[in-house]
Structure 1
Amino acid sequence: MTTTPTETTALETIELAPSYRLPIGTLLLGLAIGFLNIWVGGVIALFGIFLMIQAATLRLRFSPTDLDVYRGENRIRQFPYADWQNWEIFWQPVPILFYFKEIKSIHFVPVLFNPKTLRECLEQRCSPEL
């Protein structure tokens, strides 16, 4: 079930709804560039299709203690909030990239999820002052 942070408490798990804005935008950009250069446009369009598949299959779940990445019902990655040092969502007019830094690594994730809910969950569970 997909819920929003305003409907829940910090103790509940929130699954973000997918957003297809970035994949569709990338696909359309690839098609437009394809009129100028078929190879470059084709590569960008293929990347848009890849993002579309990822948006359809991946889910982010914010639990009380960590961010979990799921493919279907299988958890494929877990990121405990205690290890986070910083996070940022880049380009606010049209959020396209989510960055977070852990103690031992950094991560860049395309915004394939509802950006408003993503920001609300991050502010609620991982204060920007990390």
Structure 2
Amino acid sequence: MATLTLLSSRPLLTRRNGEALTFKGYGLRSSHVFHYSTGCVLKIVQSHGTCKISASMQLRRSNKKEIVIPDPDYRIPVILLGIAGGFLYQDNLLPAATIGLLGSLLLFQATRVRFVFDEEALEVRVGEKLEGSGENVFIGGENRWKYSTFVNWEFWWPNFPILVYFKETQTKPDGQVHFFPIIFNGKQLYDVMLERVGPSKTTLPK
């Protein structure tokens, strides 16, 4: 890497401004300056009235997005189990069994299924160790979809979200539709979808 040498009869002073940031604590007679325009870290060493500046490394400010995993939400399965209990109390066994089975399934899924939003894609993972969910049993292919392939997405009943819908062209060129029960924190899920995918056609909830 190229090295620049500056000879001066005066000590070279550095200051924090729009272009440079001094990193302290590297020694009594040296300092490090990060130059935002070039992304270089410059090492400045003063010795006997002269200053030597060397580009010691290249750094770039990272725009990498952090991984977001919305928290689980158990409201929908708990409500379904409550409704099933009401039917059971009235001796309506068929609806009690049907709704109770659905509520139990969603409760189980809420404890293990996670939406993982990484730098470039939404992926469905399972378990505490966030293992891969394998191939989609209904349409085939990996349960991972790049944001760039999303055509649209929506929340059903945004004030109390129950279903999230999205359509992507990664699975099929003419578009593949997905529906998922919202067993995650609806606000967190909406915010990260808005950030990573862009506004939905309805742009709800406000």
TM-score in terms of structure 2 length: 0.56
Give 1:37 shift.
1.5
- Measured at CA, do residues 88 and 10 of structure 1 come closer, stay the same or move farther in structure 2, by a change above 3 Å? farther
CA contact (8 A) 1:67 1:81 kept: yes
Tell me how far apart the structure 2 counterparts of residues 10 and 44 of structure 1 sit (CA, whole Å): 43
Q: Which residue of 2 aligns with 1:80?
A: 146
CA contact (8 A) 2:73 2:185 kept: yes
Structure 1: runs of 5+ lacking an equivalent: 1-8
Tell me how far apart the structure 1 counterparts of residues 78 and 184 of structure 2 sit (CA, whole Å): 13
Give 1:24 shift.
0.4
Tell me how far apart the structure 2 counterparts of residues 27 and 129 of structure 1 sit (CA, whole Å): 31
Tell me how far apart the structure 1 counterparts of residues 74 and 200 of structure 2 sit (CA, whole Å): 30
CA contact (8 A) 2:153 2:200 kept: no
Give 1:33 shift.
2.3
Q: Which residue of 2 aligns with 1:92?
A: 158
Give the length in aligned residue pairs.
122
Which aligned runs of 4 or more in structure 1 are off by greater than 4 angstroms? none
CA contact (8 A) 1:10 1:124 kept: no
CA contact (8 A) 2:194 2:200 kept: no
RMSD: 1.6
Q: Which residue of 2 aligns with 1:6?
A: none
Structure 2: runs of 5+ lacking an equivalent: 1-62, 134-142, 170-174, 202-206
TM-score in terms of structure 1 length: 0.87
CA contact (8 A) 1:55 1:112 kept: yes
Give 1:39 shift.
1.1
* Identity %, equivalent residues: 32
